[in-house]
Every structure is written in structure tokens, then in C-alpha cells.
Amino acid sequence: MWNDTANSSHGTFYSASVSVFAAGFVAKNISFINVAPIPRPGDVGAQAVALRIGGDQAAFWGCGFFGAQDTLHDDRGRHYFKECFIQGSIDFIFGDARSLYENCRLISIADPVPAGVRSITGSVTAHARESNQENTGYSFVNCSIGGTGWIWLGRAWRPYSRVVFAYTSMSNIIASDGWNDWNDPSRDQSVFYGEYKCTGDGAHLAGRVPYALELSDVQALPYLNTSFIDGDLWLKPYCDSLISA
């Protein structure tokens, strides 16, 4: 637990309560918390990271990540999150990792909006894939999204941002347009934002931005299991040890 912000630590990347850069990190039933105050509209430098994970082949089982803006810096490497709880407001999962989130709860604490008002107050993800040569992205499978605010599923922090939600329950806090191009229309042609067989009041596709994809079975398949993160090469021993611990 810590309370650093981008302002107090001289940069978002340095505000993390915990930073991990070594490969092979495993955590089970641990909470990572940044208790910095929730940013108010217009606040600058209020990003406050709970965990920065920049090492390859990391696995998290039943962990909690608590913060507001920029809670989980899912930075670099291949990562697996299983049955985790992730709380935040703005871009609360961000970075350029290749990560699979299974059966996770994503809870927004973004500012509530009055009835009938549709003003964006947050975003779940901000993925930073720089080019189509990078094999990175976030995949959320059998997750749930709830909480407060009126939020996007993701913002295109970098031009080739890649995020997929599959079999995920989305509450009515998800904005009808779903996604945002970081106010750079040129990114509409390069991002990969996919949804597959999601449910709930926030999962209706009719109002989505034109560049959002309703994935076919074939398109969705690479994102639905641990093969997305090359899990057959490294994950099984981790899972076995976590289950038996």
C-alpha cells in the first residue's frame, strides 16, 4: 500500500506501490493498493499506480488491484490474471503487455453521472501497442464490468491499441459508443477493438464507434484462452503451484 502520484513521484511510471521487472513473478490472494485520493475533474498529475508489472511470464490468481486513475500498469511481457478484482476510474488497466484476464471483476469508481446525462467519466483500458509488428494486447474472457460512471471500454493510448472483450458481462455504465480513439481519428484505421458474445445493458453493439468489431468465431478464437499468451510454454506449472498453495 502506498499513496504516490505522478506529481509526487515525478511521473506515472514511478508512482507504483509495487513494481515488478523480473520474469516469473507469481502472486496469489494479494492486494496491491494505491490510496492516493480519487482525481477530480481537471486534476493534473493525479495518476496513482498500485502495481507496475514489466516482467515476462507473470501470473496473478485471486489478487486485488485498488486505485483510481491508472491502477494497474500492465506494462510489458506476457501475463495471466485469474479471478482478480481490479478497481479504478480512468485508464485503470494500461500499458503494452500481452495479457489474458479470465473471470476477473472490473469495478469502476469513476464519477457518477446524473440521470439522462451522458458525460464520459472514465475508461477501463488504455493499451499502448505502437505498431502492427507488436504482438501485444489485452483479452478479457468471462469477466464482469460494474460500478459507477459512464465509461469507455478502452482508449487508444497508442495507434495500434488492441483490446478484446469476450463472454463479458457489461453493466449500463458502459458508454454506448464503447471506445475512444484518443481524439486522433487516424487511429480509427489501426486499432483493434473487438467484442464477442458479451452480455448486459452495456454490451449492445448498435451504438458502437464504426471501428469497433463484432468478432466472428474465427476472429475471436485466438483471444479466448491461454494460447493468446503462449501459456502452453510457461503457464501450467504456475497454475499447478497456485492451485495447490
The torsion of the CA quartet 107, 103, 226, 73, rounded to 10 degrees, works out to 20
Domain annotation covers residue 12: no
Q: Is the pLDDT of residue 11 over 60?
A: no
Kindly name the residue from 56, 70, 74, 91 that is annotated as catalytic: 91
Q: Which of 1-5, 85-89, 99-103 has the lowest mean pLDDT?
A: 1-5
Residue 77 lies in a domain: yes
The answer to whether position 228 is within a domain reads yes
Domain total of the chain = 1
Work out the pLDDT band at 46, boundaries 50, 70, 90: low
pLDDT band at 44 (very low <50, low <70, confident <90, very high): low
For Cα atoms 101, 1, 86, give the angle at the middle one, nearest 5 degrees: 20
pTM exceeds 0.85 for this model? yes
Please report which confidence band the pLDDT of residue 6 belongs to, taking 50, 70 and 90 as the band edges.
very low
Residue 109 belongs to a domain? yes
* pLDDT value at 242 more than 90: no
Q: How far apart are CA 75 and CA 222, in angstroms?
A: 21
Residue 113 scores a pLDDT above 90: no
Q: Is the dihedral of CA 180, 185, 189, 191 positive or negative?
A: negative
Is 139 among the domain residues?
A: yes
- Give the domain extent around 99: 20-34+55-244
Q: Is the pLDDT of residue 236 over 50?
A: yes
Percentage of the residues of the chain whose pLDDT score is greater than 90? 80
Give the mean pLDDT of the chain. 91
Q: What is the mean pLDDT of residues 83-87?
A: 99
111 is catalytic: no
- In this prediction, residues 197-207 reach a mean pLDDT of 98
Find the mean pLDDT for residues 80-90.
Answer: 97
**Would residue 41 count as lying in a domain?**
no
For 162-180, write each residue's pLDDT tens digit: 999 999 999 999 999 999 9
Within 10 angstroms of residue 186's Cβ, the number of other Cβ atoms is 9
Domain CATH number, residue 133: 2.160.20.10
DSSP code string of 35-100:
-PPPPPTT-SS----SEEE-SSSEEEES-EEE-STT-EEE-SSEEEEES-EEEESEEEEEES-EEE
Structural domain contains residue 39: no
| 71: in domain | yes
pLDDT band at 118 (very low <50, low <70, confident <90, very high): confident
**Quick one: pLDDT band at residue 90, thresholds 50, 70, 90?**
very high
Between 217 and 240, the higher pLDDT residue: 217
